[in-house]
Amino acid sequence: MSSLAATEAAPGRPGLRRRAAAWLHARPRLQLGLLLAGPLGWLGLAYFGSLAILLLSAFWTKDSFTGNVEPFTWSLRAFQQLFAGEVYRTVAVRTIGIAALVTITDALLALPIAYYMARIASPRTRSLLVIAIVMPLWAAYLVKVYAWRTILQGHGLLEFVTAPFGIESTGLTNIANAWLVLSYLWLPYMILPVYAGFERIPASYLEASSDLGAKAGTTFRRVVLPLVFPALVAGSIFTFSLSLGDYITPDLVADAKFIGNVIYDNSALGDPPLAAAYAMLPIAIMTIYLLIARRLGAFASL
> Across the chain, where does the E strand assignment appear?
60-62, 69-74
Task: Give, as ranges, the residues between 82 and 141 that touch other proteins (CB under 8 A).
Answer: 85-88, 90-91
Cα atoms found within 13 Å of the Cα of residue 11, Cβ hemisphere only: 3
Among 21, 70, 160, 163, binds other proteins (CB under 8 A): 70
95 CB-near residues (< 8 Å, 6+ apart): 243, 244, 258, 259, 260
* Number of shown-chain residues binding other proteins (CB under 8 A): 67
Asked if 223 is part of the footprint of other proteins (rule: CB under 8 A), the reply reads: no
- The terminus-to-terminus CA distance of the chain in angstroms comes to 57
Give the CA angle between residues 204, 205, 208 to the nearest 5°. Answer: 85
Residue 64 C-beta: closest distance to other proteins, Å: 4
Q: Which stretch binds other proteins (CB under 8 A): 17-25, 28-36, 113-121, 167-175?
A: 167-175
Contact characters 44-63, other proteins, x per CB under 8 A: --xx--xx-xx--x--x--x
Identified binder of other proteins from the candidate list 69, 147, 175, 176, rule CB under 8 A:
69
176-215 residues near other proteins, rule: CB under 8 A: 189, 192-193, 196
136, 190 contact by CB (below 8 A) = no
Q: Give the binding range for other proteins (CB under 8 A) out of 15-23, 107-115, 205-213, 239-247.
A: 239-247
Minimum CB separation of residue 202 from other proteins in Å reads 20
How is residue 215 annotated by DSSP? -
Q: Which one of residues 2, 64, 122, 204 is an interface residue with other proteins (CB under 8 A)? A: 64
Cα→Cα distances 169→50, 97, 299, Å: 42, 24, 42
Round to whole Å and give the CA distance between 128 and 149.
Answer: 28
Q: Which long-range contacts (CB under 8 A, 24 or more apart) does 261-269 make?
A: 261/91, 262/88, 262/91
Name the residues that contact other proteins, by CB under 8 A. Answer: 46-47, 50-51, 53-54, 57, 60, 63-71, 81, 85-88, 90-91, 153-156, 169-173, 189, 192-193, 196, 234, 237-238, 241-242, 245, 247, 255, 257, 260-273, 275-276, 279, 282-283, 286, 302
